[in-house]
């Protein structure tokens, strides 16, 4: 028996003015309330998962979980981080000649492939803005420059042959620790 039911029964026994008919009504209402609470908890859990998923689009998974849990995130130093910035050569010109749908489809295809490369080489995608794509290695986990960033850069250049445009890569290597 649930504790609240025990309290209701105990109260009814202590107060004779509470009729058994009222007790049945209270128990029925408690059942209805329990069903509503269960559905509410399920809805909250579903929304929580959606919110954490949204945070994971912005932050690494472990940071997103901590933020959602209300934890304080301490700044970390990273001894060896490599950033890769890429832009599509002539993007403005391409946009002036192509339809919006063509541009969207081109970017969607290109960035979908880039995202797969990031997952394969364990490189963290920092941001995409228009035709700019930014990734980092050594930021979310210790990674080795030669085995992640340079391979990803090679893949980006190899992939450009599938498009009528070129990709400019600006590779920035920071030799000093950075904080995030």
Least confident of 42-46, 128-132, 171-175: 171-175
- Cα 120 → chain centroid: 18
The string of pLDDT tens digits covering residues 119-161 is: 777 777 878 888 888 877 777 666 555 445 555 665 665 565 5
pLDDT, tens digit (0-9, with 9 covering 90-100), for 63-120: 888 887 888 888 888 777 777 777 887 888 888 998 999 888 888 888 888 888 777 7
Domains of the chain, each with CATH number or no CATH: 4-58+62-69 (no CATH), 82-179 (3.30.70.1230)
Cβ within 8 Å of residue 60, ≥6 positions away: 124, 140
pLDDT exceeds cutoff 50 at 33: yes
CA dihedral 45, 51, 52, 57 (to 10 degrees): 150
Q: How far is CA 166 from CA 50, 87, 91, 153, in A?
A: 37, 9, 9, 13
Task: Specify the pLDDT at position 101.
Answer: 92
* Residue 138 three-state SS: coil
| Predicted model pTM | 0.53
Burial track 80-110 (b if 16+ CB lie within 10 A, e otherwise): bbbbbebbbeebeebbeeeeeeebeebbeeb
């Amino acid at each position: 028996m649930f504790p609240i039911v025990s309290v209701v029964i105990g109260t009814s026994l202590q107060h004779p003015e509470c009729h058994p008919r009222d007790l049945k009504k209270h128990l029925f209402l408690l059942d209805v309330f329990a069903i509503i609470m269960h559905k509410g908890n399920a809805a909250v859990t579903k929304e929580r998962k959606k919110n954490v998923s949204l945070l994971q689009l912005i932050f690494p998974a472990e940071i997103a979980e901590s933020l959602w849990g209300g934890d304080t995130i301490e700044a970390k130093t990273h001894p060896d981080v490599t950033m890769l910035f890429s832009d599509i050569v002539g993007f403005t010109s391409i946009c002036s000649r192509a339809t919006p749908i063509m541009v969207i489809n081109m970017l969607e295809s290109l960035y979908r492939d880039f995202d797969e490369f990031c997952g394969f080489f364990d490189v963290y995608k920092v941001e995409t803005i228009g035709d700019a794509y930014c990734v980092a290695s050594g930021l979310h986990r210790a990674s080795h420059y030669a085995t992640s960033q340079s391979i990803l850069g090679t893949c980006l250049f190899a992939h450009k042959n599938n498009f009528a445009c070129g990709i400019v890569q600006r590779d920035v290597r920071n030799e000093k620790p950075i904080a995030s």
